[in-house]
Amino acid sequence: MHSDEIRKKYLKFFKENGHEIIQSASIIPENDPSVLFTTAGMHPLVPYLMGENHPQGKRLANYQKCIRTGDIESVGDQWHLTFFEMLGNWSLGDYFKKEAIEMSYDFLTNKKWLGIDKNKISVSVFAGDKDAPRDNESYETWKGLGVSEEKIYFFPKKCNWWGLNNGPCGPDSEMFIELEQKECLPLGKELEINCNPGCSCGKFVEIWNNVFMQYNKTEQGLYLPLTQKNVDTGMGLDRVAAILQGKKSAFESDLLKPIYDKVIELSNEDLIEKNTRSARIITDHIRAATMILGDKKGISPSNVDQGYVLRRLIRRSIRHARLLGIDESFCVQVSESVIKRFEKIYPELKENSTRILNELDEEEKKFKEVLGKGMNLLQKEVCMLKGDKTFPVQTAFDLYQSYGFPIEMTEEILVEKGLQIDLKEFQKRIFDHQELSRKGAEQKFKGGLADSGLETTKLHTATHLLAQALREIVNKEIQQKGSNITSERLRFDFNSEKIDAEKLKQVEDWVNTAIQKKLKVKMEIMSVDEAKNQGAQGVFDAKYGEKVKVYTVFDEATNKIYSKEICGGPHVENLSELGKFKILKEESVAAGIRRIKAVLEQQ
């Protein structure tokens, strides 16, 4: 079954079951300042899962482009990709476990739909612990559908639970397909007797996850039943397509095969067999890079945020291309095969193809220059060793630090020359060097949902004030073009000319005056039209739905309004919580777009 047919059938099935098909969102999240990419179909739906009314109702379904940088190290195995498509269906306080599971099973096994052999399906259910009981309802539902007991596995929270630090959470139930492989790969030995869906060997492929949000985790760590119970499901299209097509890896499905074939075509025949993993990495990474570059947000390779991930994907591909003996430029050719394969489903790829290919080409050239320089230096250092077989760690570190020359490449070249290097010592140096920034970076690669910690909440409120101050002092046409908040600082992009120091000071003062007045912040739910009539700022997009949250900063004594924005929140209740607002930097990010970085200092 072709992936187009699976996508179509999925939407048709859920439409027949009363679901509205909603638009798929950009892979760069909107109004979620704390994550770099959309990691699941539920991501753009968070406000509605938190209780906001969705304009299209309580039963929704769609397909969604996803990026999971957290899986980057796994790419190269059979089933993990950094970019993949997710098919999802949601119940917002409508049906729950029984119906959700029944629909999933019907779609998977019914001949009219996917027609997967029932014997190949295993499922997992939450085993229960001190916080919440075993998920008997899911267990009974699976049994009632005829799934035998040996195929239902109980797993702990680590595997079968979804939730953030606090807020809505609950058990999930996953579906797996058992492949006919005889070995417990990649261990290469005979299949372990107890190999089960919890084993990461690839014999059991997770294809679909149904999350049941039924608890609210309080700040005190209590799990209280939710009044609005939601279902959030996600099925990986790339995995399902490969399995239905009888393939042993996602790279052989109709979605990835044409791209993989292109990589193979460019490779040196003698090197392919022992470097399959590299070919897979290039296939996946160039597809992900193409999707990021093709997104309407117009990301370019850089050293920060999405741009950094993009750079990392491209550079990693270039490194692996060497292992396959690909000497010439290849990014453009591989990307062209991606565009050709996906332009029908994602027309933005065709529309932005010139930009995509130019950016890839430029980044490839840039990185090759870095490599050329690094290589020369490395050769010189090797000559100076004079028979010593150990390469100095400090030199490798300098190469990495000053030229961005990857350690993997240093290692490769040294191996070719019969030399060695103390990698542990190298890693230790990197670790010492990066210790401070490490946590932040890891967080970014992991992705995940908006962190609603107190510091980010404060900075989020400060962002609204900053936007308003800019409109009051610089230009009333200023609009948010991007926002990103970590627990340390806010970053706000907006349309404007350069702002001089004096004006910046006034903006800062405006915000601090508002803070000193201890203004209140209130939240109201209203229709988009009403919000517009009241002069609320924010994106008036159909996606927002009929009802939106509006946050207003106002003076209780005079009722004067300081700022009014459509926003998912959360925000502080009183500006007195904020401390002192300080602008660190104002700079250009693109033509006509400026960026301000600012912090809140404790007083």
Q: Which residues are near ligand ATP by CB under 6 A?
A: 68, 71, 80-81, 84, 86, 206-209, 234-236, 238-239
Six-digit token pair at 7? 């996508």
Cα(44)–Cα(31) distance, rounded to whole angstroms?
Answer: 9
In whole angstroms, the minimum distance from the beta carbon of 294 to ligand ATP comes to: 19
Q: By C-alpha distance, which of 72, 86, 70 is closest to 284?
A: 72
Q: Which is nearer to ligand ATP, 199 or 271 (CB)?
A: 199
Q: Which is nearer to ligand ATP, 81 or 507 (CB)?
A: 81
Q: Which is nearer to ligand ATP, 241 or 324 (CB)?
A: 241
In whole angstroms, the minimum distance from the beta carbon of 57 to ligand ATP comes to: 23
In whole angstroms, the minimum distance from the beta carbon of 147 to ligand ATP comes to: 17
- Sole residue written with tokens 């390469």: 391
3 state DSSP class of 9: helix
Q: Which is nearer to ligand ATP, 39 or 461 (CB)?
A: 39
Six-digit token pair at 493? 């992009």
In whole angstroms, the minimum distance from the beta carbon of 223 to ligand ATP comes to: 21
In whole angstroms, the minimum distance from the beta carbon of 136 to ligand ATP comes to: 21
In whole angstroms, the minimum distance from the beta carbon of 297 to ligand ATP comes to: 22
Beta strand 480-485 with 490-495: parallel, antiparallel or unpaired?
Answer: antiparallel
Q: What is the DSSP string of 110-175?
A: -TTTT---GGGEEEEEE---SSS---HHHHHHHHHTT--GGGEEEE-TTTSEEE-SSEEEEEEEEE
User: CA angle 156-34-545, nearest 5°?
Assistant: 90
Q: Which is nearer to ligand ATP, 46 or 490 (CB)?
A: 46
In whole angstroms, the minimum distance from the beta carbon of 344 to ligand ATP comes to: 21
**Is the Cβ–Cβ distance between 88 and 23 less than 8 Å?**
no
Residue nearest to ligand ATP (CB): 236
In whole angstroms, the minimum distance from the beta carbon of 5 to ligand ATP comes to: 18
Quickly count: other Cβ atoms within 10 Å of residue 535's Cβ.
8
Q: Which is nearer to ligand ATP, 178 or 422 (CB)?
A: 178
Q: Which is nearer to ligand ATP, 75 or 299 (CB)?
A: 75
Q: How many residues does the chain have?
A: 603
Q: Which is nearer to ligand ATP, 244 or 378 (CB)?
A: 244
In whole angstroms, the minimum distance from the beta carbon of 206 to ligand ATP comes to: 4
Cβ burial, residue 200 (10 Å; 0-12/13-18/19+): middle
**Is the Cβ–Cβ distance between 228 and 92 less than 8 Å?**
yes
Q: Which is nearer to ligand ATP, 253 or 457 (CB)?
A: 253
Q: What is the DSSP string of 531-598?
A: HHHTT-BS---GGG-SEEEEEEEE-TTT--EEEEEE------SBGGGS-EEEEEEEEEEETTEEEEEE
Q: How many CA atoms lie within 13 A of 119 on its CB side?
A: 1
